[in-house]
Structure 1
Amino acid sequence: MVKGEQAYINLCKYILQSGTKKEDRTNTGTYSVFGQQMRFDLSEGFPILTTKKVPFKLVASELLWFIKGDTNIRYLLENKNNIWNEWAFEKWVDSNEYTGPDMTNFGNRSQQDPEFNKLYQSQMDLFKEKVLTDNDFARKFGDLGSVYGKQWRQWKTSQNETIDQLKEVIESIRTNPDSRRHIVSAWNPEDIPTMALPPCHTLFQFYVADGKLSCQLYQRSADVFLGVPFNIASYALLTHLIAHECNLEVGEFVHTLGDAHIYTNHIEQVNMQLGRDRRSLPKLVINKEKDSIFDFELTDFELINYNPHPSIKAPIAV
């Protein structure tokens, strides 16, 4: 197994060299490969990229949002996390209640037209303020539908009951560690139409051996430059938290990708990142006084000795 983030670096190089040019629903275009896998030994350090800064607090607050079963971006905005804004904003500007400037294809236009970008930013600021201060508006436009948190904590059954998958999988790891059914699924076909974005990281499975907890994630669609670094850090953090609750050490995080792609407007940024040297991985420190993952807050995690290269900005495809 390659060390540290080298698996990610190798994936980027492989897509640039061998990826197929494909169109996509965002009309941006990608270079794509199918069926890839990365492995990270969590005992070597916390697998957050060092060739560009990944904002750990955003990773952690998003994961806590999932764990809480929340689907409204208000919690994220309260924690200065803007990574889901565009999907909620799109619902607002496409509604009959929106009366501002035309925001059609705002993702691409904001990158190409400086004057439009000013309009877009002003409307986004207005949207965020209304989500934070107007309860009715937040309920209507801040909610993303039955996305990850809803599926993890309140999976809807045909009997009009709900299943707390996350709680059940933790109990299963505790009481039957050798089970092959430590699985949580976010892909619920019935709920896809009610989701702002169908889940990209669709299913994860835990595995216990030699007193260590490992996790494998299957991700159907992987934005390798922007999204995948978050996904790696998020599921590594989740594995650490569940291992802590179940009195286990951490093993591996295995990341299996379906459509792994680099957007055509991220090529320059990827090449910049590939030109940088890798640095030592940091160490994750967790507040050991808390026993349950459902009790953790942002102040309960810290990365020690995280010394990455500067962040690299790129447009998000919506």
Structure 2
Amino acid sequence: MRHIWTHGDERIDRTGVGTRSIFGATMRFSLADDAVPLLTTKRVYWKAAAREMLWFLSGDTNIRPLVAQGVHIWTDWPLATYRQATGEDIDRDTFEARIIAEPDFAAQWGDLGPVYGAQWTNWPRYEPTGDGLFRRAAQGHNQIADLVDAIRTNPGSRRLLFTGWNVADLAGMALPPCHMTYQFHVSDGRLSGLLFQRSCDLGLGFAFNIFGLSMLTRMLAQQCDLAPGEAIWSGGDVHLYLNHADLVESQLDRTPSGAPKLILRRRPDSIFAYDIADFDVVDYAPQAPISAPVAV
């Protein structure tokens, strides 16, 4: 963060806010002994990140189940679409209340298109119908299910990965995948996970992304009878928004402390059967939250 804020290239970005950016960064974190890379210089609402990961794995692409759990991190995109389409200057709370109360409204305005979960668990497949024509198969390719099977049966494979970057579907997504490709590696009975993130909002998004990678790696390791290894994060365009000066300067003034742990309370029968109650973070004593606007 200090390096980007001091030496990053100042750029005009898609949102119009502007960033300071570097290209290409890597960090590694051990997951041994239940360790989890969770920021202590500000409070990270890890349960929101965990609920988001479970939502991805469910294959859902509508914000309704997230909003019902008090998770607001995806609301800004459909809210912006609704405001633009209708001209109605509705506030977030009112929009979310309608998403929860009105299923038809949620179906029309709460769906994000074929984002992460759709690609992870239902990547489109097409089957021939004759005369050179094809139709979309009822069930797509479940990359996560195949990943679990591959880790169990072929742990030396270099193809233990999944991705959300489906070029054919990008135009229909509210936001193309930022954390786009995950790869896994088995060595000496340990499972390590690597995330390539094409675009990283270091001030807000990264804390969720590295927790999500760590959580998913732990889940896969548990399901495949492996010990956790490392969480390895690689970023393409890694940036701080220019309107996050207060966040950056406040966080850089703080000293990290503590060693939080992520505890998995139960081993379900499937990677898709985890519940938020299966996870707990202990020994986490973060400093005060730091708020900052999300660039949409």
Q: Does 1:27 align with 2:5?
A: no
Q: What is residue 229 of structure 2 aligned with on the other side?
A: 251
Q: What is residue 64 of structure 1 aligned with on the other side?
A: 54
Distance 2:50 2:116 in 1: 15
Q: What is residue 100 of structure 1 aligned with on the other side?
A: 88
Distance 2:233 2:124 in 1: 27
Q: What is residue 118 of structure 2 aligned with on the other side?
A: 150
Point out where structure 1 has 5 or more consecutive residues left out of the alignment. 1-11, 102-119
Q: Does 1:126 align with 2:94?
A: yes
Distance 1:288 1:157 in 2: 34
Letter of the 1:18 counterpart? H
Distance 1:27 1:158 in 2: 38
Distance 1:263 1:66 in 2: 26
Distance 1:84 1:180 in 2: 33
Task: Considering fraction of residues, name the structure with more helix.
Answer: 1
Distance 1:282 1:257 in 2: 24
Q: Does 1:286 align with 2:275?
A: no
Q: Percent identity?
A: 42
CA displacement, residues 3-61 of structure 1 (integer Å, 9 cap, x when unaligned): xxxxxxxxx12112220000011110000000111111111611111111100110110
Distance 1:224 1:61 in 2: 20
Letter of the 2:270 counterpart? S
Distance 1:182 1:134 in 2: 40
Q: TM-score, normalised by structure 1?
A: 0.87
Letter of the 2:6 counterpart? Q
CA displacement, residues 231-264 of structure 1 (integer Å, 9 cap, x when unaligned): 0001100101111111111001110000000000
Distance 1:153 1:291 in 2: 17
Is the Cα–Cα contact under 8 Å of residues 222 and 258 in structure 1 kept in the other structure? Answer: yes
Q: What is residue 135 of structure 1 aligned with on the other side?
A: 103
Distance 1:216 1:74 in 2: 30
Distance 2:92 2:262 in 1: 34
Q: Does 1:207 align with 2:185?
A: yes
Q: Secondary structure at the match of 1:163?
A: coil
Distance 1:88 1:250 in 2: 36
Match of 2:43 among 44, 48, 53: 53
Q: TM-score, normalised by structure 2?
A: 0.94
Letter of the 2:58 counterpart? K
Letter of the 1:51 counterpart? T
Distance 1:157 1:222 in 2: 30
Q: What is residue 38 of structure 1 aligned with on the other side?
A: 27
Q: Secondary structure at the match of 2:272?
A: helix
Within-5 A mapping of 1:269-308: 269-308=247-286
Is the Cα–Cα contact under 8 Å of residues 163 and 180 in structure 2 kept in the other structure? Answer: yes
Q: What is residue 196 of structure 1 aligned with on the other side?
A: 174
Is the Cα–Cα contact under 8 Å of residues 222 and 267 in structure 2 kept in the other structure? Answer: no
Shift of residue 158 of structure 1? 4.1
Is the Cα–Cα contact under 8 Å of residues 43 and 288 in structure 2 kept in the other structure? Answer: yes
Is the Cα–Cα contact under 8 Å of residues 184 and 194 in structure 2 kept in the other structure? Answer: yes
Aligned length, in residue pairs: 285
Point out where structure 2 has 5 or more consecutive residues left out of the alignment. 128-135
Q: Does 1:232 align with 2:210?
A: yes
Letter of the 1:218 counterpart? F
